[in-house]
Structure 1
Amino acid sequence: MRHRLPAASIAALIVCCAQAHLAQAQTFDFKNIVSVNGPPVVVNQTSQFNMAGLFMVGGNTSGTVVQTGTTNAVGVLQFGGTTSASISQTGTFNAASVGQVGQSATSLLSQLGAMNSGSIAQFGATNSSTVVQNSP
């Protein structure tokens, strides 16, 4: 005995499968920026998976990274007279690393998520850093 699905059932099955596929879609945003004596760098990322790398060399370096997603990762490496880094991450998993070498080094790291990891290394005559980590 052979069974046939009505056309409406087939259409419903196709729509359900298509929606299930869309629900599993994942977005990635990867940015690597190299700046030599350039202007301040600002990176805003709002994908599910965000990753940013900033390598900055110059007299005055300034980098800002804002990430909102499930998984966020950023690395900032700055060499200059005055170095400044600001990182804001909101997601389930957040990881950030900052390395600064210069006369004056300033960094701000803010993370809101279930698992937060941050590290800051500063080598300068004047160093200042602020780290805020919270879980929802």
Structure 2
Amino acid sequence: MNKHLLVVAAAVLVSCFTANGPARAQGVDIKTIVSVNGPPVIVNQGSSLNMVGVFQIGGTTSATVTQNGSNNATGILQFGGTNSALVGQAGVNSFAFVGQTGQSATSVLSQFGSMNTGAIAQFGAFNSSTVIQTSP
């Protein structure tokens, strides 16, 4: 009896692997990026669940995040003289937060999905932000 159970379990396991196949897109993509006086950060995610956290400190900070999946989440914190953030999200649920502190702060947030949440907090002498949220 145990031998038959083992054969059935092995067959189910093999069928699960062949059903998913190696060519399918990754289900979850989670990234955390910490940059001190580093180059601009560019993140492109296309999984079902996308999450990214960007923390930047330096004279000039720049982050660009593009997410295309069912669920997207982005958090960007920038502390520099000149800060720039661009977030583009397409999916069912999208969440984005951008926090910027410095001499000047510029951010653009674009979300296309059924449920969009976005927040921008800027503390600088010159601040500029654009938020675009649309649903299908």
> Do the structures match in fold with TM over 0.5?
yes
Residue matched to 1:125: 125
1:18 Cα shift? 3.9
Residue matched to 1:80: 80
Gaps of 5+ in 2: 1-10
SS in 1 for 2:20: helix
Counterpart residue identity of residue 111, structure 2? Q
1:19 Cα shift? 8.4
- How many pairs are equivalent? 122
1:22 Cα shift? 3.1
1:20 Cα shift? 9.7
Counterpart residue identity of residue 120, structure 1? I
Gaps of 5+ in 1: 1-12
Residue matched to 2:100: 100
Residue matched to 2:45: 45
Matches within 5 A, 1:51-66: 51-66=51-66
- TM-score normalised by the chain length of structure 2: 0.83
Residue matched to 1:22: 20
- TM-score normalised by the chain length of structure 1: 0.83
Counterpart residue identity of residue 63, structure 2? G
Q: Name the CA shift for 1:94/1:126 in 2 (closer, same or farther; >3 Å).
A: same
Larger radius of gyration: 1
Residue matched to 1:91: 91
Q: Distance in 2 between matches of 1:90 and 1:20?
A: 29
Q: Distance in 2 between matches of 1:102 and 1:72?
A: 27
Identity %: 60
